[in-house]
């Protein structure tokens, strides 16, 4: 590991430690006392109120687990978007938490680090207090489109989600992690571990958001003994757009995910097209 990387990792760890100790945005939280829930599903929102509105609708319609709570943790960098997202959550009776200012959103502009920092804050400040049987994270731009039970998916294993294998050719060990936009854990399997959800490098191989869990958790398990989400099926929204701007794909068959949910690529009429597409679900 280079000296430059060591300095960066130390800086990230220090920033992460400071960030998780901060209170939510001006105490903007609709979360009261939550106890004895079997499933806690957390959305990390970012600058798109339309996606949150559609996701809330479809989670309510398709998640079949009888005892679950859906929380929206707002990592938006736009104040007006935060207000709009909070209003949607209030109307839908969905707990809302405004996360603290995130350095990686505005100063460093590293989306993966921003997302990982948001997830770490939620885990330290919410999940550890709620102590749900199972907790998990979903991106703001992924939607259940068929009846779906997370409790059934995790009946006999400690975690579940979309596996990302980053093992280089001829590498002596398998390097992998669960995508931060679709990952679920049994709380009892991680509660005594020192974990965070930041990106990291292992053996000089980059693991994206939530990759830091590899060293503390994933490396202890043999992936051949677990089941993960079904292979991702891909389909372009419209002809002429590239992967990181306007792609639609299906995760675990029963979830629809759109790339570039925050539309930082500035694709024209993206939300309008998705709104029409989602009406069928």
What residues does each domain of the chain span? Answer: 3-231
Judged on CB neighbours under 10 Å (0-12, 13-18, 19+), 77 is: middle
Q: How far apart are CA 9 and CA 12, in angstroms?
A: 5
Q: What percent of the chain has pLDDT over 70?
A: 83
* pLDDT given for residue 120 in this prediction: 92
Instruction: Bin 93: left if φ > 0, else alpha if -120 < ψ < 50, else beta.
Output: left
Q: Report the CATH fold assignment for 3-231.
A: Spore Coat Polysaccharide Biosynthesis Protein SpsA; Chain A (3.90.550)
* pLDDT tops 90 at residue 63: yes
Q: Distance of CA 226 to CAs 162, 193, 222, 229, Å? A: 12, 20, 7, 10
**Nearest Cα residue to 271 out of 76, 48, 64:** 48
What is the average per-residue pLDDT within 105-123? 82
pLDDT-wise least confident of 1-5, 25-29, 91-95, 165-169: 25-29
Taking a C-beta distance cutoff of 8 angstroms, is the pair 43, 55 a contact?
A: yes
Task: Average the pLDDT over 256-274 and give the result.
Answer: 84
CB 74 within 8 A of CB 121: no
Q: Residue 265 and residue 245: Cα distance in Å, rounded?
A: 6
pLDDT in tens, 161-196: 999 999 999 888 899 999 999 999 999 999 999 888
**C-beta of residue 136 within 8 angstroms of C-beta of residue 119:** no
* pLDDT > 90 in the chain, percent: 57
Alpha helices in the chain (DSSP H): 3-20, 49-62, 79-92, 103-106, 111-122, 128-130, 150-153, 187-190, 213-216, 243-246, 270-278
Say if residues 76 and 45 touch (Cβ distance below 8 Å).
Answer: yes
Range from 19-23, 63-67, 121-125, 198-202 carrying the lowest mean pLDDT: 19-23
Q: Looking at per-residue confidence, does 26 or 249 come out higher?
A: 249
**pTM metric for this prediction:** 0.89
Tens-place pLDDT, residues 16-51: 666 666 666 554 555 555 667 899 999 999 999 999
- pLDDT range class, residue 102, cuts 50, 70, 90: confident
pLDDT for residue 94: 94
What backbone torsions phi and psi does residue 32 show, to the nearest 5 degrees? Answer: -95, -140
CA atoms of 38 and 130, how far apart (whole Å):
10
Q: State how far the Cα of 269 lies from the Cα of 274, in Å rounded to an integer.
A: 9
* pLDDT for res 108: 56
For residue 250, which phi and psi values (nearest 5 degrees)? -110, 125
CB neighbour class for 232 (10 Å; exposed up to 12, middle 13-18, buried from 19): middle
13, pLDDT greater than 70: no
CA pair distance 189, 182, nearest whole angstrom:
18
> The tokens of 139 are what?
């991106």
Is residue 62 over pLDDT 90?
A: yes
- State residue 160's pLDDT score: 96
SS3 208: coil
The mean pLDDT of the chain is 87
Mean pLDDT of 243-266: 84
Reported as a pLDDT band with limits 50, 70 and 90, residue 270 is: confident
């Amino acid at each position: 590991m280079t000296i430059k990387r060591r300095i960066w990792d130390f800086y990230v760890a220090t920033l992460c430690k400071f960030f998780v100790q901060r209170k939510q945005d001006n105490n903007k939280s609709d979360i009261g006392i939550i106890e004895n829930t079997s499933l806690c599903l957390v959305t990390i929102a970012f600058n798109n109120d339309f996606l949150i509105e559609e996701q809330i609708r479809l989670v309510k319609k398709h998640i079949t687990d009888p005892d679950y709570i859906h929380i929206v943790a707002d990592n938006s960098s736009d104040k007006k978007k935060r207000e709009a997202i909070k209003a949607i959550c209030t109307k839908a009776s969905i707990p809302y938490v405004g996360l603290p200012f995130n350095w990686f959103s505005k100063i460093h502009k590293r989306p993966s680090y921003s997302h990982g920092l948001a997830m770490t804050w939620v885990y330290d400040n919410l999940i550890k207090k709620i102590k749900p049987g199972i907790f998990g994270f979903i991106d703001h731009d992924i939607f259940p489109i068929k009846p779906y039970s997370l409790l059934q998916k995790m009946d006999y294993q400690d975690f579940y989600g979309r596996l990302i294998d980053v093992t280089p050719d001829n590498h002596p060990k398998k390097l992998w992690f669960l995508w931060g936009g679709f990952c679920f854990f049994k709380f009892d399997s991680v509660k005594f571990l020192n974990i965070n959800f930041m990106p990291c490098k292992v053996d000089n191989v980059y693991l994206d958001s939530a990759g830091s869990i590899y060293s503390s958790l994933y490396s202890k398990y043999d992936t051949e003994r677990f089941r993960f989400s079904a292979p991702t099926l891909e389909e372009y929204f419209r002809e002429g757009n590239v992967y990181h701007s306007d792609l639609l794909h299906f995760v675990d068959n029963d979830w629809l995910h759109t790339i570039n949910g925050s539309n930082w690529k500035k694709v024209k009429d993206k939300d309008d097209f998705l709104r029409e597409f989602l009406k069928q679900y």
